[in-house]
């Protein structure tokens, strides 16, 4: 049975897979013709399987969607009292923080040697890559500070709530026990304030239109989150009677003992990720002062691998509470959303921070009223076209061309031509180069055409620090 060819077109950017078999809800996919044709049957099979979980009320696929594990990347699953661990995945609360650099313009960073010095200065202060190493100028962190972060996230660092999607998520101390997962606990202190590997990065960017300089940090909960997730995947599989190799299909009732424990530990990992991003800001701030004699201001911070309990906007205009699992998707509350009441963003909706690729850049979106149609969610990036291993194999023969493109690409940014993207790697990582991602502008166009969000800032990279 083909799921893909059961999909119905409801509008140019909206497709629906009707309920079939054990599906509890239809699948709404926000894809135009080209993005839909690029999907494969395995993605739709996975979406149908995700829709068959107990407690599912709605499921959406964002325009950057691709095959994941348990739930598609770019997948949003709404449930009543069920927690699906794959809805956060292994990097619980992976997300983005954006920093503005007031007074710094494209002309001030056009010299690649200045950008090179900035990259070096950041690497002296912020750890990248796998493991627990700390660079010479990184801030030391006491374990008692980490214990507060588990429970209070960015609030434990004194960060204003308006700068965060969630200041922190409440942790039930009656069930949270940091000793429950020793491998997670042991990584929390040494890895706080580090970027990690994979697709995580720190990137200097320039606004295409104004020439303003920004810094984007993309990272998550590091080993603490990974080990936490891994522990509960195995525990959930055992409880549900699934074989270990299918552990990523497990799910939990919110009020059963293991569900309560997972929710507390998931929230502690989310709090850790939020604080991790804000801690990295300290190193970026020092590096930017040292090289450009400029300050950085936090604009906003948001997650895109997270389960959150929130107010749902229903088609008839009413509301109810539920759990929203965003696996590689970003929360998008529009103006007037009940959960934004009395916040800075109540009249505008909160910003949605969307990385694309180390070649094609990123964007800042604002949700529109149509966001209610997508479970108040947008994409979290442009979406992968190639798996990592595939990219390394299939692009090896054009590696020199890819490196040349990164060194020589010229863009007019705010009326200033900036050449090249300075990096911290000897060669462009093939599994993260621009060729392995979808066209970010095509992905964003779907959201705009469907009235889900608008693009407020389109930004392009000029310096990139990867976790290698």
The catalytic residues are 380
| Cα–chain center distance at 42 | 23
Q: Say if residues 141 and 126 touch (Cβ distance below 8 Å).
A: no
Structure tokens that stand for 182 in this block: 């020793």
Q: Say if residues 175 and 260 touch (Cβ distance below 8 Å).
A: yes
Q: Provide the angle, in degrees to the nearest 10, between the axes of the packed helices 257-292 and 182-191.
A: 20
Q: For residue 387, what are the contacts with CB-CB under 8 A and spacing of at least 6? A: none
E runs forming strands in 70-180: 71-79, 82-84, 95-105
Q: What distance in Å separates the CA atoms of residue 387 and residue 58, rounded to the nearest whole number?
A: 28
Q: For residue 101, what are the contacts with CB-CB under 8 A and spacing of at least 6? A: 212, 213, 214, 215, 288, 292, 294, 295, 296, 297
Q: Say if residues 71 and 61 touch (Cβ distance below 8 Å).
A: no
Q: Say if residues 223 and 305 touch (Cβ distance below 8 Å).
A: no
Other residues' Cβ atoms within 10 Å of the Cβ of residue 174: 8
Q: What distance in Å separates the CA atoms of residue 252 and residue 265, rounded to the nearest whole number?
A: 13
Q: What distance in Å separates the CA atoms of residue 159 and residue 162, rounded to the nearest whole number?
A: 9
Smallest CA-to-CA distance from 349 within 378, 389, 383 is with 378
Residues in the chain: 468
- Residue 70 has what DSSP assignment? S
- Residue 384 has what DSSP assignment? B
Buried b / exposed e along 27-60 (16+ C-beta atoms within 10 A): bbbbbbeebbeebeeebbbbbbbbbbbebbbbbb
Alpha-carbon distance values, 393 to 200, 452, 454 (Å): 21, 37, 37
């Amino acid at each position: 049975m083909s799921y893909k060819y059961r999909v119905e077109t409801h509008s140019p950017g909206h497709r629906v897979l009707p309920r079939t078999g054990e599906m509890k809800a239809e699948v709404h996919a926000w894809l135009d013709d080209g993005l839909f044709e690029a999907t494969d049957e395995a993605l739709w099979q996975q979406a149908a399987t995700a829709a068959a979980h107990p407690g599912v009320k709605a499921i959406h696929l964002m325009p950057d969607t691709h095959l994941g594990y348990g739930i598609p990347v770019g997948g949003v699953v709404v449930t009543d009292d069920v927690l699906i661990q794959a809805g956060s995945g292994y990097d619980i609360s992976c997300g983005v923080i954006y920093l503005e650099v007031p007074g710094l313009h494209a002309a001030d960073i056009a010299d690649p040697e200045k950008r090179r010095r900035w990259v070096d200065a950041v690497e002296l202060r912020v750890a990248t890559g796998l493991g627990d190493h700390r660079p010479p100028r990184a801030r030391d962190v006491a374990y008692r500070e980490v214990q507060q972060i588990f429970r209070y996230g960015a609030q434990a660092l004194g960060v204003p709530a308006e700068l965060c999607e969630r200041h922190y998520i409440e942790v039930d101390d009656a069930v949270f026990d940091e000793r429950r997962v020793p491998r997670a606990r042991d990584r929390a202190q040494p890895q706080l304030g580090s970027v990690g590997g994979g697709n995580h990065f720190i990137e200097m960017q320039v606004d295409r239109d104004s020439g303003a300089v920004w810094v984007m940090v993309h990272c998550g909960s590091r080993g603490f989150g990974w080990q936490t997730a891994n522990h509960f995947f195995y525990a959930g599989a055992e409880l549900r009677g699934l074989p270990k190799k299918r552990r990523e299909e497990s799910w939990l009732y919110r009020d059963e003992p293991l569900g309560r424990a997972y929710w507390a530990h998931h929230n502690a990992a989310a709090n850790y990720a939020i604080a991790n991003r804000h801690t990295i800001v300290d190193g970026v701030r020092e590096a930017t002062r040292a090289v450009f004699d400029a300050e950085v201001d936090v604009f906003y911070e948001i997650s895109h691998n997270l389960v959150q309990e929130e107010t749902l906007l229903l088609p008839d205009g009413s509301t109810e509470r539920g759990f929203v699992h965003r696996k590689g998707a970003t929360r998008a509350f529009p103006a007037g959303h009940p959960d934004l009441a009395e916040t800075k963003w109540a009249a505008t909706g909160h910003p949605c921070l969307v990385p694309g690729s180390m070649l094609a850049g990123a964007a800042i979106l604002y949700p529109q009223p149509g966001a209610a149609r997508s479970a108040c969610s947008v994409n979290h990036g442009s979406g992968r076209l190639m798996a990592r291993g595939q990219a390394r194999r299939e692009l090896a023969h054009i590696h020199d061309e890819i490196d040349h493109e990164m060194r020589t690409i010229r863009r007019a940014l705010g009326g200033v031509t900036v050449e090249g993207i300075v990096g911290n790697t000897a060669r462009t990582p093939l599994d993260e180069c621009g060729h392995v991602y979808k066209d970010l502008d095509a992905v964003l166009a779907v959201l705009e055409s469907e009235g889900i969000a608008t693009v407020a800032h389109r930004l392009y990279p000029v310096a990139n620090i990867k976790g290698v």
